[in-house]
Amino acid sequence: MSAGMTIFEAENVSKVFPVGQSVLRRLWSGPRGAKAVDSVTLDVREGEILGIIGESGSGKTTFGFLLANLMPITDGLIRYRARPLTEMTRTERAQFRRKVQMVFQDSSSALNPRRPVGKILRDSLRLGGTPARERDAAVAKLLTNVGLSPEHGRRYPHELSGGQRQRVGIARALAMKPEVIVADEPVSALDVSLQGQIINLLMRLQAELDLTIVLISHDIAVVRHVCHRVAVMYGGRLVEFGETSQVVEQPRHDYTKRLIAAVPRGLAGRKQAAEVSLAGAGDSG
């Protein structure tokens, strides 16, 4: 497997969201509130596909935002190519923004509903530094590269299907010519038979463009197929981290074991009537 050099290092990263505090109080005594991400330490290697698995509330999406520097961290350190994000100069930050792009989860809110897709991509190309005269051609190329036709550029987001919108989201990220793509639940909203299309697209792009991908998902089966390494998050904490096959076949943490056990397995998972207790387990489910 590709084990390139380390591109991201996160050390004891925490993120606290101030909950219900007025501006003044926050300025006075500092933020206090829910710890969405709690002391997470991991690294991302160049050229790999890293999966971050967790359920809702696990902090995986927040962590993705932190990695992409879309939110400031409250505690700890994130280094990109050995350079801490908080110490970056303006130019370095601008460069970082181009190198690390995010694909968002909810494709219906990830694209401005009042702008045609082509314009959205053109904006991104402009922000990414593509000169004006090349932009039209570049938009067409982006669309074809993600499996759409240049004709789709004239459409508005609501005129496209969920899968197509997701592809536009990927195209938008690619418009910046990034090195790293953080993909937040790119397939959760899609039918099973279509999920593969997007996942395979990401994998093809990764191979063609030498990308590093951080895939955030709640679906461990998808992650198992696609990711070299996987990080399991629960309640904001990192509970397990390692090679995918290891984590899936020999999980060490209790939560990981429960997660794997809960995945439906079709016929193989049919229980005998006697094994079932009435009313399931209590409160937390």
Partner 1 sequence: MLVGVVAALALLAPILPIRDPLALDLGHRLAAPGAHHLLGTDQAGRDVLSRIIWGSRESLQIALSAVLLGCLFGVTLGLIAGYKNGSILEMVITRCFDVLFSIPLLVLAIALLGILGARPVEILGFTLTDKIKLVGLIGLSFTPALGRIAYASALVEAKADYVRAKKAQGAGWIELVFVEIFPNAVPSVIVQATLFVGVAIIVEASLSFVGLGVQPPTPSWGTMLADARNYIFSGEWWVAVFPGLAICATVVGFNLLGDALRDLLDPRGGAKSTFV
Partner 2 sequence: MPMSAQPPILSIENLAIGLTSGGVPTPIVSGADMTIGAGEAVGVVGESGSGKSLTALAIGGMLPAPLSVLSGRIVLDGTEITRLPEAAFHRVRGVKVGYVFQDPLNALNPTRTTGKHLIDVLRRHNHMSASEAYDKAVAALSSVGITQPDDRMRAYPHQLSGGMRQRVLIAMALVCNPRLLIADEPTTALDVTVQARIVDLFRGIRARGISIMFISHNLDLVLEFCDAVVVMYGGRIMEKGSAVEIGATPRHPYTRALMDCIPRLASQSRQLRVIPGQPPTALGKLAGCPFAERCERALEVCRQRQPDMTAQSPTHAFACWNPAPSPAVPS
CB of 255 to partner 1, least distance (A): 28
Per-position x/- string for 51-90, each x denoting binding to partner 2 as judged by CB under 8 A, each - no binding: ----xx----------------------------------
Residue 86 and residue 73: Cα distance in Å, rounded? 9
- For partner 2, give the closer residue by CB, 69 or 256: 256
- For partner 2, give the closer residue by CB, 5 or 273: 273
Range 165-194, binding partner 2 (CB under 8 A): 191-194
- Answer for the pair 13, 63: CB distance below 8 angstroms, yes or no: yes
Residue 19 in the binding site for partner 2 (CB under 8 A): no
**Among partner 2, partner 1, none, partner that 226 touches (CB below 5 to 8 angstroms by kind):** partner 2
Return the ∠ at Cα 15 (arms to 10 and 21), rounded to 5°.
Answer: 165
Residue 207 in the binding site for partner 2 (CB under 8 A): no
Q: How far does Cα 165 stand from its chain's mean position?
A: 16
Residue 91 and residue 36: Cα distance in Å, rounded? 29
CB of 67 to partner 2, least distance (A): 22
- Answer for the pair 172, 153: CB distance below 8 angstroms, yes or no: no
3-state secondary structure of 7: strand
- Answer for the pair 86, 165: CB distance below 8 angstroms, yes or no: no
- For partner 1, give the closer residue by CB, 113 or 269: 113
**Among partner 1, partner 2, none, partner that 224 touches (CB below 5 to 8 angstroms by kind):** partner 2
β-pairing verdict for 229-234 and 237-243: antiparallel
Residue 113 and residue 191: Cα distance in Å, rounded? 22
Binding site for partner 2 (CB under 8 A): 55-56, 161, 163, 191-197, 199-200, 203, 218-222, 224-226, 248, 258-267, 269-271, 273, 276-285
